[in-house]
Amino acid sequence: MVKLFFLLSGENKTLPYAELIAILEAENITFSIIEKLDQVMRLETNISCIKEVRLRSAYTRICALELFVCEANIEAITKCLKKIDFRNIIDESDSFAVRIKRVRNYAEKSSVMIYEREIGKIILKKTKTRVDLVRPDNIFIGILTSGKFIFGLKIAIIHPKPFGERRPRKKPFFHPSGMPSKLARSMVNLARAKRNDLLVDPFCGTGSTLIEATYIGCRTIGLDVQLKMIKGCLKNTHHFNIYPEGVIRADARKPPIVKVNCVVTDPPYGRCCSTMKSTTKRIVEEALAGFNSVLDKGAKICIASPKSIDLSTIGEKAGYKHLESHFVYVHRSLTREIAVFEKR
């Protein structure tokens, strides 16, 4: 077990933390939370977990081995640096660079360059390594957040660009209701989906959930009552070389499936979606009831709907245990609630 820290996206206040925890739980990785800071999670866990976080996460940006945490001032930082034997951390034949990132307004912009320069000087004095600001063999990363300075050796960086390339308007079949790829991936993670699990999206729409679940190794099935959406979903999945085990025109309230491992979905709502002469609340109630019989005890459902329908209450009434909810602002008249339920 080692101490690691993770720099998280600032796109949502709660989702990045919850997603990281869900990934570790899904992969049965032992961990303990040391501290939650603004956009930073500090954990004690196995370093091998970084491989899974790198593969799965939508909202984690940097994974690093923690070397120390101190107050955010150069005196405290210098004192901690002098205690570290960097010869046990990096090879003397390697090069290094120091990168400092500040979260929001916890530090002045000017302090970033000062910290990078001063930390670099100390490491040079304590080792026979060299600085390379272009292609360093090792990168030391420092985060200024919540009045603290967290410093360590960068192990992995997760680029958000691939998610941007799969955003709704980049797909060959576009519909205004399309789920953003990062949010879809996060919901798959919140459902604790594992490799080879059979994941079902009963309102598959443009296929975002099926695509993101497949990328982490799940088997997938999509359902939708509208033929237009079925055709569009297949067009999108095939565009990304994704071939679900089935994309079926079916009513989510009566799923033509015997057994699944987890459910991740975003039922229709809003002006651009057809609720087939029903209401979103009614559709959610009936869909949750329909999937109760095909899930084993302990299986998870992650579902998105407007905050106004109170998903947590609906799920509890349908016989599920409500585990968590997160709220994602879309526009003035829509805030999504992302709720996770467990089959009792």
Residue range 174-186, pLDDT digits in tens: 998 899 999 999 9
**pLDDT value at residue 275:** 53
Task: Write the single-letter amino acid at 248.
Answer: I
Span 106-124, pLDDT tens digits? 888 778 888 999 999 999 8
pTM of the model: 0.93
Domain layout of the chain by residue ranges = 2-157, 167-343
What is d(CA 88, CA 92) in angstroms, rounded to the nearest whole number? 9
Q: Which CATH code, of 3.30.2350.10, 3.30.2130.30, 3.20.20.70, 3.30.530.20, is assigned to 2-157?
A: 3.30.2130.30
Q: Give me the half-sphere count of Cα atoms (radius 13 Å) on the Cβ side of residue 126.
A: 19
Burial 259-280 (b: 16+ CB within 10 A, else e): ebbbbbbbbbbeeebeeeeeeb
The torsion angle over the Cα atoms of residues 320, 323, 329 and 333, rounded to 10 degrees, is 30
CB 226 within 8 A of CB 274: yes
Q: What is the CATH number of domain 167-343?
A: 3.40.50.150
CB 220 within 8 A of CB 205: no
Q: What would the 3-class secondary structure string for 132-157 be?
A: CCCCCCEEEEEEEECCEEEEEEEEEE
Span 142-163, pLDDT tens digits? 999 999 999 999 999 999 999 9
